[in-house]
């Protein structure tokens, strides 16, 4: 679907120029003009019926007329002439110039407002991106801290478990040796008691046998 045409107007050299184009960029290309012509207020869209009608009859074609004249816009102007202006024409020209100046100022103001809006939008987008990056860094740092904390807790738990096992092993070893020493003491006591019993038996039995031998 073809884009809707707009009519743009500017003043270059000795001529007023108009062109029906789909965009400001297309109009600038048709005029062969500076890309800043609109932002500087030297070109603007026009809705003046006669100009719109003339330009739309030849879309994309640059039409011009001598600056200050009231003639029709044509594809070419053969020669320049000094227009004869009456008081009414001079007043009309001044009014037209004021209107054009107003249009230029309005266009420049709109362009500046659009530029400021774009800058604010870009700034907001940059701020959002910065905040997102900042939040991602904070989350990453927090994740690293949590992982470090979990690792320390796991290491502390493992160390505590090892310490508990070592303490249990020491207690078990001590209990083992205490049991062995207790057995050894009881065995020593039993051996002594056995010797004493045997010695007593020998003494008694020896005395009895000596009596029997008499």
Q: CA-CA distance, 41 to 34, in Å (whole number)? A: 12
Q: Quick one: tokens of 172?
A: 């078990």
Question: How many whole angstroms separate alpha carbon 95 and alpha carbon 209?
Answer: 167
The C-alpha angle with vertex 136 and arms to 132 and 140, in degrees rounded to 5, equals 170
Each residue's pLDDT expressed in tens, for the chain with a length of 214 residues: 557 899 999 988 889 999 999 999 999 999 998 888 899 889 999 999 999 999 999 999 999 998 878 888 988 765 445 455 557 766 877 888 888 888 888 888 888 898 899 899 999 988 999 898 898 888 888 888 888 888 898 888 878 878 887 888 888 788 887 888 888 888 888 888 889 898 898 888 888 988 888 8
DSSP-derived pairing of the beta strands 6-12 and 15-21: antiparallel
Q: Which residue ranges make up each domain of the chain? A: 6-134
């Amino acid at each position: 679907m073809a884009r809707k045409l707009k009519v743009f107007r500017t003043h270059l050299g000795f001529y007023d120029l108009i062109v029906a184009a789909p965009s400001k960029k297309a109009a600038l290309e048709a005029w062969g003009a500076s890309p800043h012509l609109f932002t500087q207020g030297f070109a603007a869209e026009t809705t003046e019926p006669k100009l719109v009608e003339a330009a739309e009859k030849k879309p994309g074609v640059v039409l011009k007329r001598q600056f200050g004249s009231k003639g029709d816009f044509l594809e070419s102007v053969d020669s320049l002439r000094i227009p004869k202006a009456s008081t009414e024409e001079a007043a009309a020209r001044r009014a037209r110039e004021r209107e054009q100046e107003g249009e230029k100022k309005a266009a420049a103001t709109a362009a500046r407002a659009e530029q400021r809006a774009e800058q604010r939008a870009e700034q907001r987008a940059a701020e959002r991106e910065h905040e997102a990056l900042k939040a991602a860094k904070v989350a990453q740092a927090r994740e690293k801290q949590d992982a470090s904390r979990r690792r320390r807790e796991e290491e502390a738990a493992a160390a505590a478990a090892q310490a508990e096992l070592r303490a249990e092993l020491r207690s078990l070893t001590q209990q083992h040796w205490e049991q062995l020493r207790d057995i050894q003491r009881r065995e020593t006591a039993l051996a002594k008691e056995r010797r004493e019993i045997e010695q007593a038996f020998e003494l008694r039995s020896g005395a009895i046998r000596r009596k029997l031998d008499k």
